[in-house]
Structure 1
Amino acid sequence: MAEQAPQENARQFIVQRIYTKDISFETPNSPAVFRQEWKPTHDLNLNTRVNKLADDTFEVVLAVTVTTKIGDMTAFLVEAQQAGIFSVAGFAENELGPLLGAYCPNILFPYAREVVSDLVTKGSFPQLVLQPVNFDALFAQHQQQAAVQREGGDGATREH
């Protein structure tokens, strides 16, 4: 059996590195917050950005911000930027958006979840476990909103 020559346009996806780019943990109302009954509300904010480093190499940064309050009092604020360097080759231009905007954040999220959980625990608060996130749905929603903005519409369905 003859060896097959590698395809010139073969798809390649490589995780080169995953790292914590920036972290912050604040407890602006400690120690008073520790005397409150622990019935928190959590606000989760996610954001991603992509930086092109070379022809086929990208840095993807997943920013996670969690604000936890007891009533009107902020118990803690956690901000973590989890990043990765990814090599992608052989993908069509229309495939790069979902790959970098949804697939890579899916890879980064467990690392960010661990960073957030560790910081909260080290701050002497009960463990906080972030629930899974459907980045594919978030990416699709973002694309839809961007399309509506490009058309200058309000998102209402129009008949042609």
Structure 2
Amino acid sequence: MSEATTQQPEQIFTINKIYTRNVSFESPNAPGIFTVEFQPQLEVDLNVSSEALEPEEGVFNVIVRVTATTRIDEHVAFLVEVEQAGIFQIKGFTDADINYLLGVHCPNILFPYAREAVSDLVIRGGFPPLLLEPVNFEAMYAEHVQQQQAEATQQ
């Protein structure tokens, strides 16, 4: 065998674009909400999705969606949603490695942008900064893979 036939394909991981796909901020009980003591209860929903844009070129779009709802008693103080997205080229990897990169590495790149956007929107809405805790996307991905495997064995 020649050296050229035994070489692995070149692995490419490139960030082509990082962009904000969607932002939303609502404070349905303003201005009255500003007159009560601010002892909030926070609910955060986090979701990651990806799709192939140009499969033959290994171009993917990844979206990290963060929705944070803060309540004071039974009243919604604010609801903020940010969809932070990125276009990545991922080529020369196995399917399992591509899925891992899409589910862990890409969200790790995008999350700081989403975190900053959430904090900025909340401050602009007149509330104290909301600093989201770091996220372990590796654990989320492992849980997702286990869930898929469990569903596959049940069928």
Q: Same fold (TM over 0.5)?
A: yes
Q: Secondary structure at the match of 2:149?
A: helix
Structure 1 residue 8: Cα displacement: 6.1
Amino acid at match of 2:20: T
Amino acid at match of 2:149: A
Residue 9 of structure 2 is matched in structure 1 by 9
Residue 37 of structure 2 is matched in structure 1 by 37
Counterpart-to-counterpart distance in 2, 1:150 and 1:71: 42
Q: Deviations over 1:79-123 (max 9, x none)?
A: 110000000111111111110011100100000001000000000
Structure 1 residue 33: Cα displacement: 0.8
Q: Secondary structure at the match of 1:104?
A: helix
Q: Deviations over 1:19-45 (max 9, x none)?
A: 000010000111111111111011110
The number of residues matched between the two structures is 147
Q: Secondary structure at the match of 2:70?
A: strand
Counterpart-to-counterpart distance in 2, 1:132 and 1:53: 28
Aligned-pair identity in percent equals: 47
Q: Secondary structure at the match of 2:21?
A: strand
Residue 50 of structure 1 is matched in structure 2 by 50
Structure 1 residue 152: Cα displacement: 2.0
Specify which of 100, 116, 119 is matched with residue 118 of structure 2. Answer: 116
Specify which of 125, 128, 144 is matched with residue 126 of structure 1. Answer: 128
Residue 92 of structure 2 is matched in structure 1 by 90
Residue 23 of structure 1 is matched in structure 2 by 23
Indicate the RMSD between aligned Cα atoms, in angstroms: 1.2
Counterpart-to-counterpart distance in 2, 1:47 and 1:23: 15
Counterpart-to-counterpart distance in 2, 1:113 and 1:141: 22
Counterpart-to-counterpart distance in 1, 2:134 and 2:41: 18
- Superposition misfits of 4+ residues, deviation over 6 angstroms: none
After the TM superposition, which of the residue ranges 106-115 and 140-149 deviates more from structure 2?
Answer: 140-149
Q: Deviations over 1:138-157 (max 9, x none)?
A: 0101111121122228xxxx
Query: Which structure: greater helix fraction?
Result: 2
Residue 71 of structure 2 is matched in structure 1 by 69
For structure 2, list consecutive stretches of 5 or more residues without a partner in the other structure. Answer: 1-6
Specify which of 80, 83, 91 is matched with residue 82 of structure 2. Answer: 80
In the superposition, the TM-score normalised over structure 2's length comes to: 0.91
Amino acid at match of 2:140: L
Residue 135 of structure 1 is matched in structure 2 by 137
